[in-house]
Amino acid sequence: MQRVIHTMLGMAASKRLGWNAVTLAAVAVAGVLAVPVLVVVSSVFAPLGDAWEHLAATVLPEYIANTLWLMLWVGFGVSVIGVATAWLTTLCRFPGRGFFEWALILPLAVPAYVMAYAYTDFLQFTGPVQAWLRAAFGWGPRDYWFPDVRSLGGAGVIFSFVFYPYVYLLARAAFLEQAAGMVEAGRSLGYGPWRSLFRLALPLATRMILTELDFDADGDTTFPDVDRTSWHAVDRRRGDRATYVTYERRAAATSARTRAR
């Protein structure tokens, strides 16, 4: 009887801890996969003598600079490509739009290093593109200029074409939430850019930041009065001769606007 009680307590404890065959197998697989990572992390703390000093004096500054430039280049590239393609496939009509809506996501199916190898082999000097140019026009190796794909700029372009789908998906989801029909209706009614902003964009907004000047400025363009029944100030910061006020749409107004849409 005592053995049965101990067995039941052990089973209850194992269920409470969640340890079963599947969990143990998952922990074992995770431990095996974590070995390379642990080895790399442990190597950081291993004594290397003058290795770090040598790297810092020779190649480390160049590596850091190249990494920063690559981050800026890829960030700009994916933003331009992702937002532009999302805008075109969401708010514009053209032949083949349905195909490009899903085809623009295909780079996600290819790892970045595989795409880099493919582009490099395709565009390098011995690749099919430059080989065709030399054969078609009778050019020699020094008779033409071709961008060097094995460069920092080439890496930035390739990474931009690999990672832009992440921005494309987010931008497309944001554009789909907006009422594109309202913009088209505004154009049909003769709304210009400014009138579309005040009559279409602002009613759809949920937050706006206004700058209140403490002096009289020359100009003939004024912002419409804020409807205090629909907006309330959530932040007010004092600046140099100006106050920056953040307004948010009230919950009741937001719910009514959502039902109206």
DSSP 72-132: HHHHHHHHHHHHHHHHHHHH---TTHHHHHHHTTGGGGS-HHHHHHHHHHHHSTTSHHHHH
pLDDT confidence of residue 132? 92
Arithmetic mean of pLDDT, 140-152: 86
The token pair that represents 177 in the structure block = 């939430």
34 beta partners: none
From 156, 168, 166, 158, select the one nearest 68 (Cα to Cα): 156
9 confidence band (pLDDT: 50, 70, 90):
very low
Q: How far apart are CA 67 and CA 75, in angstroms?
A: 12
Neighbours of 167 (CB within 10 A): 21
pLDDT confidence of residue 29? 92
Mean pLDDT in the chain?
77
Left, alpha or beta for 95 (phi > 0: left; psi -120 to 50: alpha)? beta
pLDDT confidence of residue 11? 46
pLDDT confidence of residue 168? 92
Cα–chain-centroid distance for residue 16? Answer: 41
What are the residue boundaries of the structural domains of the chain, listed by start?
1-34, 60-177, 180-216+227-260
The CATH number, out of the four listed (1.10.3720.10, 3.90.120.10, 1.20.1330.10, 1.10.10.10), of the domain defined by the range 60-177: 1.10.3720.10
**Residue 39 scores a pLDDT above 70:** yes
pLDDT confidence of residue 13? 46
Pick 54 or 38 by higher pLDDT. 38
pLDDT confidence of residue 226? 74
